[in-house]
Structure 1
Amino acid sequence: MGEETKTVNKQDDRDAVLAKLEIEKKLSLIKAWEENEKTKAQNKAHKKLSDIDAWENTKRAAVEAQLKQIEEKFEKKKAEYAEKVKNKEALVHKAAEEKRAMIEEDRSKEFLKAEQMAAKYLNSGSKPEKSCACFSC
């Protein structure tokens, strides 16, 4: 009975070791599968995040280009309005110069008329008639 017991114990030990190895093998396979699934999920999420980043960059570039176009249009309109204002200023200045010239011409005519009248009075020896109530002659 001693030898049989030893053989049975050895067989039981061997079976226990094999069962333990089988469990460890299963655990190892499960652990490897879990790591693989986690890696796939990580890679999938990273790819989606990269796609979103690329989409965002494309949309941002489009919006920036649109903003640049709007700014260019605004600058063009601003330049056009500035030119119109300068043209109006030039027209106002021209009209003012014309009015000044007319006043100067009228003044020159009145001076000439006064000189001619003074010369006439000097030549004739007569006095000028009252032209204004403020002068007493």
Structure 2
Amino acid sequence: METELKETSMEEELNAPLAQPPSDVVSEKPALPPPAPKTEPKVDDSKSLVVVEPSTPEPLVKKPSGGSIDRDIALAGFENEKKLSFVKAWEDSEKSKVENKAQKKLSTVTAWENSKKAALEAKLRKKEENLEKRKAEYGEKMKNKVAEIHKQAEEKRATVEAIRGEEILKAEETAAKYRATGKIPSKFLGCF
């Protein structure tokens, strides 16, 4: 009797229907290579956020049972993949918008910097031109003063030469007078 019980329990186990797969099991799909990541210029920003890609769970092995359940599982997996694809596209779009906005702002800042530099350089050149002009004017004034001083010196020299000539002539006339009269000049022997 004991052997009969064992045989019937074994038959019941063998004849038992296979378990239905759970509804959250993802059907197996052919593996597609992941899209090539876009190469973006690396920015060293220690405060930037790191985006961690959610890891996709490994698909469970589908048991061959056939039917609408498998189709529903496949559709659910497809819908999930479609959502993830849309999220990834949105993320890429947002990143590109942020990059474009940052580039536009950077170019605006660069243009502002260049215009300010150009304005300062123009101002510096104008100041230098004014200084050169003032230097030239001052140099011209100094040359005129030097010429005036030279002219005054020449006039004074001419006056001194004229006085000297007059005094020499006077001395010669006085000497001729003393010779003619035979007298000795009194100033010559001033100590007697």
Compute the TM-score of the two structures, normalised by the length of structure 1: 0.83
Q: Secondary structure at the match of 1:9?
A: coil
Match of 1:31 in 2: 88
Percent identity between matched residues is 53
Which of 36, 45, 48 aligns to 2:105? It is: 48
Change (3 A) 1:4 1:61: closer
Change (3 A) 1:46 1:5: closer
Is 1:66 matched with 2:116? Answer: no
Q: Which moved more, 1:72-81 or 1:57-66?
A: 57-66
Q: Secondary structure at the match of 2:66?
A: helix
Match of 1:111 in 2: 168
Match of 1:18 in 2: 75
Larger radius of gyration: 2
Change (3 A) 1:5 1:123: closer
Give the counterpart letter for 1:27 in structure 2.
L
State how many pairs are aligned: 135
Higher relative contact order (CA 8 A, sep 6+): 2
Give the counterpart letter for 1:10 in structure 2.
G
Match of 1:77 in 2: 134
Q: Distance in 1 between matches of 2:132 and 2:149?
A: 25
Which of 55, 60, 65 aligns to 1:9? It is: 65
Compute the TM-score of the two structures, normalised by the length of structure 2: 0.61
Give the counterpart letter for 1:16 in structure 2.
I
Q: Distance in 1 between matches of 2:20 and 2:153?
A: 133
Q: Distance in 2 between matches of 1:61 and 1:131?
A: 84
| Superposed displacement of residue 36, structure 1 | 0.8
Q: State the Cα RMSD in Å.
A: 2.7
Per-residue CA distance 1:77-135 (angstroms, 9 max, x = gap): 111111111111111111111111111111111111111111111111111112575xx
Structure with greater helix share of residues: 1
